[in-house]
Amino acid sequence: MSRRAVFAAVVLLMSAGAGLAEPRCDVPLADWQPREALQKKLEADGWTAAKIRSDDGCYKAIGRDGRGEIVKGRFDPATLERLEDDGRDDHGGHGRHGRRWGADD
């Protein structure tokens, strides 16, 4: 394989990986709603025992739905709207596509 072909393959792979990354939120900190507001919204949506943290400029939350299933999501910190995720389902840990949240999440 020529050097040019190898270089092109590396560039292609690097750009594909960037497209799979979760989106970042670009909300100034002054415009963020408090975590308590997201907690209330999640409870109104049927979530219980939600753990909320910030990550890449977004809120991330994990909790349980009305059926007791683990759910998680990314939320815009200004609007508290749920964001599209990277194609994984909402079930953490034992879900088909989700990943388990550990103590450091």
In angstroms, the CA 25 to CA 38 distance is 15
Of the given ranges (3-17, 26-40, 56-70, 80-94), which has the lowest mean pLDDT?
Answer: 3-17
The rounded percent of the chain whose pLDDT value lies above 90 is 51
- 3-class DSSP state for residue 96? coil
The residue-averaged pLDDT of 49-63 equals 92
Please determine, for residue 20, whether its predicted confidence score (pLDDT) is greater than 80: no
Structure tokens at 40: 């209330």
In angstroms, the CA 82 to CA 103 distance is 23
Of the given ranges (53-57, 77-81, 87-91, 93-97), which has the lowest mean pLDDT?
Answer: 93-97
